[in-house]
């Protein structure tokens, strides 16, 4: 051997055919990153396991009652909460989609470019407001106003199936739904806005060149192309609405009763957990954990659907 050989550090040696290039060498950095993601996955896994395992006795003893029962204490029934969650979030979704679609279309196509940024910013600031602030606004500002004006107005339209404005006390399914609608609107608008501004300009121009009016461009070209993405936005908003806690807890009245008259109080899963946890004994806590599992299933299912829609919209836009 000559004295000219350079000593290659062990970590840098590699032969042709090695599966990993020398850049993939392990350093302390790799271990730090690994520690972080193992901790993250561990805690996430523990999150699901811990809530499920705490509610296990309820699922073993009375799996049917927790879903279909209506009483609380003794056998625990979650039906009022499940129905209430669906009622409030669906009413909120309908309001948010109708208003939000118009808003998103206005922001993207109708208002002057200089107003566009500021309007989009305002709508996104709405998303940053903590839910408790919406709850306070709903309880202390919107509720008295609705009691004085909105319930009597709906009464005068003859919508008696909603209940009577004379018996209504303020907190109600309708109030909670309207507060929820205001809360989920920014989420729906910001995603819908992104989806419809991603519709290719040449499609819009082709449609304009055929003599279409602005509304025809929107209804015949933009909305069909963005359809799936808008569905995704709606489901994402729905997922947020089902899991919302304190704003609903303040405005719905939290009474464990299946409520079909929307002027009167009801409850939702999340708001019931928040309210009932205060004076819960260990059996109550197991039942509340079981409600938590139901909420987890509903809201993760909805957000899974939303993610599937949004991924499909990406594929559609990649094609056109």
Partner 1 sequence: MTDLFTTITTNDALRAEIQAISQRGRNARLIRSRIVITLCVIALAIAVIPLAALSWEIIVKGLPVIKASFFTQLPLTPNLVNPNMTGGVSNAIVGSLVLVLYSSILSVPVGVLTGIYTAENENRTASLIRLMAQTMAGAPSILMGLFAFALICQQLGFGYSALAGSFALAVLMVPVIVVATEIAVRNVPQTLREAGLALGAKPHKVSMKIVLPTALSGIVTGCILAISRAVGEAAPVLFTIGGATLLNWKPTDPVSALPISIYIDAKSQWPSLRAMVFGIALVLLFVVFIASFTARFLVGRQQRKS
Q: Using CB under 8 A, which residues numbered 145 to 184 contact partner 1?
A: 182
Total Cβ atoms within 10 A of residue 288: 22
The residues, ordered by sequence, that sit 6+ positions from 174 with a Cβ below 8 Å of its Cβ are: 91, 146, 162, 262, 263
Q: Compute φ and ψ for 126, nearest 5 degrees.
A: -55, -35
Looking at residues 206 to 265 of the shown chain, list those that interact with partner 1 (rule: CB under 8 A).
211, 213-216, 218-219, 236, 239, 242-246, 249-250
- Residue closer to partner 1 by CB (options 17, 278) is 278
Q: Find the shortest distance in angstroms from Cβ 103 to partner 1.
A: 4
Q: Find the shortest distance in angstroms from Cβ 160 to partner 1.
A: 26
- Residue closer to partner 1 by CB (options 78, 135) is 135
Q: Angle 282-319/28-68 helices, nearest 10 degrees?
A: 110
- Residue closer to partner 1 by CB (options 137, 203) is 137
Q: Which of 126, 223, 294, 305 binds partner 1 (CB under 8 A)?
A: 126
Looking at residues 86 to 115 of the shown chain, list those that interact with partner 1 (rule: CB under 8 A).
98-103, 105-107, 110-111
32 lies in the site for partner 1, by CB under 8 A: yes
Q: Which of 234, 203, 197, 233 is nearest to 216 (CA)?
A: 203
Is 306 in contact with 239 (CB distance < 8 Å)?
Answer: yes
Only segment of 40-48, 69-77, 146-154, 312-320 that touches partner 1 (CB under 8 A): 40-48
- Residue closer to partner 1 by CB (options 68, 216) is 216
Q: Which of 63, 94, 133, 167 binds partner 1 (CB under 8 A)?
A: 133
Looking at residues 52 to 71 of the shown chain, list those that interact with partner 1 (rule: CB under 8 A).
54
Q: Which of 164, 310, 151, 287 is nearest to 230 (CA)?
A: 310
Only segment of 63-71, 221-229, 258-266, 298-306 that touches partner 1 (CB under 8 A): 298-306
Site residue total, partner 1 (CB under 8 A): 87
289 lies in the site for partner 1, by CB under 8 A: yes
- Residue closer to partner 1 by CB (options 126, 317) is 126
Q: Find the shortest distance in angstroms from Cβ 202 to partner 1.
A: 21
Cα dist from 261 to 6, 91, 272, 318, whole Å: 85, 13, 19, 46
Q: Which of 8, 18, 43, 297 binds partner 1 (CB under 8 A)?
A: 43
* Residue 72: strand, helix, or coil: coil
> What is the helix (H) or strand (E) element at residue 230, kind and residue range?
helix 223-243
- Residue closer to partner 1 by CB (options 48, 260) is 48
Q: Which of 171, 206, 176, 234 is nearest to 320 (CA)?
A: 206
> What is the helix (H) or strand (E) element at residue 102, kind and residue range?
helix 79-105
Is 183 in contact with 272 (CB distance < 8 Å)?
Answer: no
Beta strands in the chain (DSSP E): none
């Amino acid at each position: 051997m000559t004295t000219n050989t350079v000593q290659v550090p062990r970590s840098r040696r590699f032969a042709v055919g090695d599966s990993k290039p020398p850049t993939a060498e392990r350093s302390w950095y790799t271990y730090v990153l690994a520690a972080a993601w193992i901790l993250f996955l561990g805690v996430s896994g523990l999150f699901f396991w811990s809530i499920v395992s705490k509610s296990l006795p309820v699922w073993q003893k009375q799996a049917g009652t927790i879903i279909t029962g209506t009483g609380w204490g003794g056998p625990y029934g979650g039906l009022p909460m499940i129905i209430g969650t669906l009622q409030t979030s669906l009413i909120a979704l309908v309001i948010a989609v109708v208003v939000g679609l118009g808003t998103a279309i206005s922001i993207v196509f109708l208002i002057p470019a200089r107003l566009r940024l500021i309007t989009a910013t305002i709508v996104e600031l709405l998303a940053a407001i903590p839910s408790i602030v919406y709850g306070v606004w709903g309880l202390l500002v919107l509720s008295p106003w609705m009691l004085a004006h909105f319930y009597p107005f709906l009464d005068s339209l003859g919508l008696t199936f909603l209940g009577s404005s004379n018996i209504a006390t303020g907190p109600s399914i309708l109030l909670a739904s309207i507060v929820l609608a205001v809360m989920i609107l920014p989420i729906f608008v910001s995603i819908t806005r992104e989806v419809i501004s991603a519709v290719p300009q040449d499609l819009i121009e082709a449609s304009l060149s055929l003599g279409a009016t602005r509304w025809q461009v929107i209804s015949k070209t933009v909305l069909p192309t963005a359809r799936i993405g808008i569905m995704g936005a709606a489901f994402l908003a729905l997922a947020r609405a089902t899991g919302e806690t304190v704003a609903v807890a303040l405005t719905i009245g939290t009474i464990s009763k299946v409520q079909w008259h929307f002027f009167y109080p009801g409850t939702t899963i999340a708001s019931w957990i928040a309210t009932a946890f205060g004076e819960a004994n260990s059996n109550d806590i197991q039942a509340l954990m079981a409600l938590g599992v139901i909420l987890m299933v509903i809201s993760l299912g909805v957000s899974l659907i939303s993610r599937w829609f949004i991924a499909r919209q990406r594929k559609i836009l990649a094609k056109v």
